[in-house]
Structure 1
Amino acid sequence: MEIREEKRDIPCFESKQQLNREFPFKIIRYSSSELKQPMHTHDYTQIAYVLKGVCNHQVPGKSLTVSKGDIFVIAPDAPHSLNAIAEQEYEVVLLDFVPSIVGELLQPFSGSLPLLLEPSRENYSLSGSGVPSWLHIGNRKQSFVEQLLQDIQDEFEHREVGYEHAILLSLAKLLLLIDREYRRGQRKPARQPTIAERTPIEEVKRYIYDNYSGDIPLEHGAFIANMAPAYFSHQFKKETGQTFIDFINEVRIERAKELILRGTHTITAIGFQVGFHHLSHFIRTFKKRCGVTPTEYKKMFAKDDHNN
């Protein structure tokens, strides 16, 4: 593998060695526990998406523990490295490409998307310091992103006639989604904490909001916060006023209330959908927080709708 050395002694990978000249694009999946990259740059764009587990992504002055749903757009010449964490499973998909191959498809968005791709302009840096752009894709959009990545990989591996165009269309869809998610975050009334400002407990809360339907043991929250479990439990309650499990249950019950009011799912289905493995546990927790059972809650609002 050929690389060139920059004056700052950070290796730079060049597209002419790493990518096909006729179609400068490739897709790679990493899951090896041996992965340990040095800090490096490349003269092409890279998108990294965490499919499962947790791993480490480093940028100058910051080491990030990233997990499922996290996505990075790494502009040319942006220093970074990706590393496995001991005894932690993960899978990451990398898309490497020269920005010019999607230029025409993104022309209508020339005022926004190219900022993600070009090193000569200020990119979407959540820290404001020029580090690779970072976003978390919520549960509802993760399946869409992962299907796009699978479509891209299938096209890249089989290389049937027209595969280049198919890849570019999927890549453009992915970039548009990233751009919209970024803009949606900017439109929120309260300014969201930057990576540099976000506290470990806020990182854990963000993870819970996006993954409440799955199992989230306290030990995993402690790992994300990089704290010992006992200390994490103390700090979490200190900052949120709730225990770790009470916070998770609050998020789950609030989501359950929204689903109940929609009236499109049974109470049993809603309980499982928001993360409860047993209907009795869901009903008991719901009543503790709301004063009524899920069925009673549904009837109350059905009655109000009838009266109105």
Structure 2
Amino acid sequence: MKMKKAEIDELTRSGVVYFNSKLEMLEDLSCKMYRMDKLTSLWCHFHDYFQIWYVSKGEFLHTIGGQQYRITKGNLFVVPPFTVHRVESPPEQEVEIWGCEFLPAFINERFDDPAGEQFFFDVSYLTYFAHAENATSNQLIFDGVRDNRIRGLMQEMFGEYERRAPFFQIVLKAHLLLLLSIIIRQVNGELVQAGFEKSEKYRDTMTKVIEYIQKNAHEDIKLEDVCAMSNLSKSTFCSLFKEWTGKTFNRYLIDLRISNALRLLQHPSLTVTDVCFAAGFNEVSYFCRIFKNYTGISPNQFRKQAASKRPQN
């Protein structure tokens, strides 16, 4: 996603135009929205930001990665930073183009940290588009529902950018993330469909397993038991369970037991030891340690707080 200064200088000396975000964007906002109703041919150029164009009227030629595309009404394309491309259009051509340009840091400031690790949640929004060889994002055509949604999002983003009402930056970022998620699903259609089919295939099995865990969390449930119940290998089950719940089996079980413990601790008749075993933990010291890791306080402190908030007769 980065290009060395020497490489930039070499391109500009050869006649390729460089558009820099410092000149193109507001000082405190690394995202820019615009609407174009006239298109001047732009010969070979590149920029240090992502560019998304959605065309709601007209057509033109777009050359990127050595491939030429005829972009028409309803098309969208994404150009990653430092990718040389060009646009050709006759001067009399009527167009309506909604544009969004942004730096990766607008998605997450950690993109700007060269020493930082690059494995964080928001990186998934940009990884695919960061590589110009992913040609499927060079010309995207959406069905009627998605097309209307894309157009609506671009118009709303443009409106937020123009009005600049309080907190518009947050709204702009939220809309951009939604826009990127729609595009990512479009370019990964086969993967999305495969994931849906896999989810449906194992829906009954995973529903049964989760219901069993919720009803029997107080028992000594082992991973081997639920694997046998689901008739799946350990690796397949763990993968499916994480996809289905967003947690590993052990994390899900501990979370559920702590949640049950929070409820049980509000009963004055139960001791901490009673709660420990009733929730499914088999050692009091372990239970107290895990409980404090989750809540920041001990079970006894939680009980005292709960008692102080209980209505007095």
**TM-score under structure 2 length normalisation:** 0.51
Alpha-carbon offset, residue 185 of structure 1: 4.6
Letter in 1 for 2:19: F
Cα 1:185–1:134 change in 2 (3 A) is: farther
After TM superposition, the structure 1 = structure 2 runs for residues 48-127 of structure 1, keeping only pairs within 5 Å, are: 48-85=53-90, 87-103=92-108, 107-108=120-121, 110=123, 112-118=124-130, 122-123=131-132, 125-126=134-135
Q: Structure 2 CA distance, aligned partners of 1:144 and 1:182?
A: 16
Letter in 2 for 1:164: Q
Alpha-carbon offset, residue 44 of structure 1: 0.9
Cα 1:59–1:123 change in 2 (3 A) is: closer
Aligned identity (percent) is: 24
**TM-score under structure 1 length normalisation:** 0.52
Structure 2 spans left out of the alignment, 5+ residues: 1-6, 111-118, 195-313
Letter in 1 for 2:135: L
Q: CA RMSD in A?
A: 2.7
Task: Specify which of 9, 14, 20 is matched with residue 14 of structure 1.
Answer: 20
Letter in 1 for 2:188: R
Which residue in 1 is equivalent to 2:139?
A: 134
Task: Specify which of 164, 167, 171 is matched with residue 172 of structure 2.
Answer: 167
Letter in 2 for 1:125: N
Q: Structure 2 CA distance, aligned partners of 1:15 and 1:109?
A: 21
Instruction: Give the 3-state SS of the residue equivalent to 1:7 in structure 2.
Output: helix
Cα 1:29–1:41 change in 2 (3 A) is: same
Q: Does the CA-based 8 Å contact 2:54-2:99 persist in structure 1?
A: yes
Letter in 2 for 1:151: E
Q: Do residues 28 (structure 1) and 19 (structure 2) align?
A: no
Cα 1:69–1:58 change in 2 (3 A) is: same
Cα 1:5–1:100 change in 2 (3 A) is: closer
Q: Does the CA-based 8 Å contact 1:73-1:116 persist in structure 2?
A: no
Which residue in 1 is equivalent to 2:157?
A: 152
Cα 1:85–1:17 change in 2 (3 A) is: same
Q: Does the CA-based 8 Å contact 2:107-2:122 persist in structure 1?
A: no
Alpha-carbon offset, residue 80 of structure 1: 1.1
Structure 1 spans left out of the alignment, 5+ residues: 190-308
Q: Does the CA-based 8 Å contact 2:125-2:180 persist in structure 1?
A: yes
